[in-house]
Every structure is written in C-alpha cells, then in structure tokens.
Amino acid sequence: MTSQIVSPAEMDQAIATLRAGELLAFPTETVYGLGADASNPDAVRKIFKLKGRPSSHPVIVHIQDVTQLSRWARDVSPMAMKLAAAFWPGPFTLVLKRAPQVSEVLTGGQDTIAIRVPRHPIAQQLLAAFGGGIAAPSANRFGHVSPTLASHVRDEFGDSLLVLDGADCEIGLESTIVSCVMDIPQLLRPGGITLSQLRAVVPAVSGVVTQDAPRAPGMLDKHYSPDTPIHLIHSEDLRQVADDYRRKGQQIAVLAMQPSINTNNFTSWINAGDNPLAYGHSLYANLRQMDKLGTMAILIEQVPGDESWQAVRDRLQRAAAK
C-alpha cells in the first residue's frame, strides 16, 4: 500500500516546485488536484495552459484550515462558518466573496472565490509545509475524466509533472460546492457531502440552482467525458441494447450494477455494484478503463434516483451529454 504521507525529501521538492512558480499534482480525498501557488498569478496561469482550460473558469483555492480564510474571502456569513466548521477538512468547497487582494486569475474575473480544506493526509502535509493557499482544479485535461490515481495524472500529463502519490482517492468524485454569496446558501455541485447532510447543519441550504446564482462554469453540460460515446440505459433495456450491438458485430463496454447478463466476445462488462459510495469511488477509474478498450460505445446502466446517488447521477449525465 502507498504511504499516506510522502518522504521529507519529496516534500522538500514539492515545496520548492510551488515556490518556483511551477505545478505539481497532489491527492485529495475526492480527486487529484493540479496545484500551483495561489498567490502567484503567473503560476496559476500555467494551470490553465496545461489543462487547456478557458481562463473564465475559476479554480478552487485549498487552504490548511479555516483560520486562513480571511486571506481569501470577505463577509463570510454565519451560515458559511457553520458549514465550514461541520465539513472541513473534507470533500466540501465554499464559494464566498473574494478578499480585495485576491487575483482575478483565480476567480475567472468574478467577485467570488471557491475555497476548500481537504482532509487527505498528503494534502494536509503539503498545505502545512507550504503555509499558503494552493490553487488546484482536478488534474485532468479540460472536459476530461478526473483522476483518482497517480497513474491517471501521468496518463493525462506525462512523466515530467511532479505527482505526489497518495494511492486511490477515498471518495473518487469531486467535492460538494455550496455558494454562500447570497442570503440563501446554494448547492452548486453535488459531491461527497449530500444535501441532507448540508441541511442537517444549515436547514436553509437550497438544492435548486436559480438563475442569479454565481455561475460554476465547470458545470458545463458536457464534462467528465471519455472519448468513447456513452449511453445511459434503463436496467430493463440493458440486455436488449447490448444484444443489438452484438448482432451488428459491434464491440461495447458495459458499466452495470449487476453481474454480466451477456457473456460474449463483443461485450466487456464491469459490475460496479449497487452501493453508491463504492460505485462513486471507482467510477472514474472504470470510465478510464472502458475508454481504453476503444469499443464502439460505453453503455451505462441508469443508477437509482434517490439522494445517495445524486453525485454519481450528475457525473454520469455529464459524461453522457452530447
């Protein structure tokens, strides 16, 4: 098993990399981040360049703990503080009004800033040693599947990028984002923390994104996508659709919640099970594995409609969007 901290020598190299204004990848409990010194606009620009990400898409600043918040945000409401106290460190990101000295490069020109305190031991070790904020989107090319293993990051960006290896990410889906910029806190992206968990702390949290909510440009319809076309299929249609491809002699990959109903040379079948946490944990690794097969299509069995599946459902819908 990979150690949950890195050696002093590797940490020295990581800190030197950040201080030199260069990029590195590091694990969090959600997905791997592509990090840069958040106080150095030139370093942050390199993130956008390497990812191929439009400069209008703001990035999350990672900090060690809530005491560093005032460096980045202003007018933090009592509700925001309650959420921070409940879910930091963890898979949770707050969108707040930005402090005056925060660079527009981080915020995509908006007056708001996204902040997260991750709990992965290596992320915590890195933030403690660095002292400042680390800007980090997911460590993947723009619009592509997020990485949940160090090897995924290398597949995206090659071997020249320093990657701190923290084995597989515990949650495997990106953080829950809540905007506390307006009076009513608003869920912008479902993730490791569910709406019920948020409401248990602050009952007012809204799950409906209204029109004047701050835009979260990462929430483009098409996102988290492999290259192979993805089709979401209802459970009762799965066998029929898989058979139709086979009859045409077309290879497919299937991501299902049940054992294979269709063993033949044309079909590669992954049973991801019916536990939403385990399913989410391995979703991106499964998508990457299926994408590599180069099949005609990826068929994904529709997951249940209840809240425990909300984050998974959201990512599947985006992965399948045309």
- Subset of 114-143 contacting ligand TXA (CB under 6 A): 114, 116, 136-138
How many CA atoms are closer than 13 Å to the CA of 261, on its beta-carbon side? Answer: 14
Least Å distance between CB 220 and Mg ion? 10
User: Which residues on adjacent β-strands are paired with residue 308?
Assistant: none
Query: Nearest distance from residue 12's CB to Mg ion, in Å?
Result: 28
What does 223 bind: ligand TXA, Mg ion, none (CB cut-off 5 to 8 Å by kind)?
Answer: none
Residue 9's contacts (CB-CB under 8 Å, 6 or more residues apart) are: none
Interface with ligand TXA includes 51 (CB under 6 A)? no
C-beta closer to ligand TXA: residue 190 or 298: 190
Residues between 78 and 117 that touch ligand TXA (CB under 6 A): 93, 95, 107, 110, 112-114, 116
User: 25, 43, 83, 177: which one contacts ligand TXA (CB under 6 A)?
Assistant: 177
- State how far the Cα of 67 lies from the Cα of 124, in Å rounded to an integer: 14
Residue nearest to ligand TXA (CB): 218
* CA separation for the pair 37, 70 (Å, rounded): 17
Residue 90 or 230: the one with the smaller Cβ distance to ligand TXA is 90
Q: What's the token pair of residue 195?
A: 């709406």
Radius of gyration of the chain (CA): 20
> Which segment (10-18, 75-83, 133-141, 234-242) binds Mg ion by CB under 5 A?
133-141
Q: Smaller CB distance to ligand TXA: residue 209 or 297?
A: 209
- Return the DSSP state at 39: T
Interacting partner of 175 out of Mg ion, ligand TXA, none (Cβ under 5 to 8 A depending on kind) = ligand TXA
Residue 24 or residue 113: which is nearer to ligand TXA going by CB? 113
Query: Taking CB within 5 to 8 Å according to partner kind, which of Mg ion, ligand TXA, none is near residue 112?
Result: ligand TXA
Distances (CA, A) of 159 to 64, 138, 169: 28, 17, 20
Nearer to ligand TXA, 219 or 278 (CB): 219
**Of 93, 43, 36, nearest in space to 69 by CA:** 93
Specify burial of residue 145 (Cβ count, 10 A radius: 0-12, 13-18, 19+): buried
Q: Rounded CA gap, 87 and 92, in Å?
A: 6
Single residue of 68, 124, 138, 148 touching Mg ion by CB under 5 A: 138
Which of 292, 286, 284, 289 has the alpha carbon at shortest distance from 311?
284
CB of 203 to Mg ion, least distance (A): 29
CA gap 128, 277 in Å, rounded: 29
* Cβ neighbours around 183 below 10 Å, total: 9
Q: Cα 173 to the chain's mean position, in Å?
A: 5
- 112 or 225, CB closer to ligand TXA? 112
Name which of residues 205 to 234 contact ligand TXA (CB under 6 A): 214, 216-219
Binding-site partner at residue 171 among Mg ion, ligand TXA, none, CB < 5 to 8 Å by type = none
Burial of 109 (0-12, 13-18, 19+ CB in 10 A): exposed
Candidates 28, 40, 68, 186; binder of ligand TXA (CB under 6 A) is 28
Look at residues 65, 68, 61 and name the one whose alpha carbon lies nearest to residue 103: 61
The residues of the shown chain that bind Mg ion, judged by CB under 5 A, are 138
Write out the residues near ligand TXA by the rule CB under 6 A: 28, 30-31, 33, 57-60, 93, 95, 107, 110, 112-114, 116, 136-138, 174-175, 177, 188, 214, 216-219
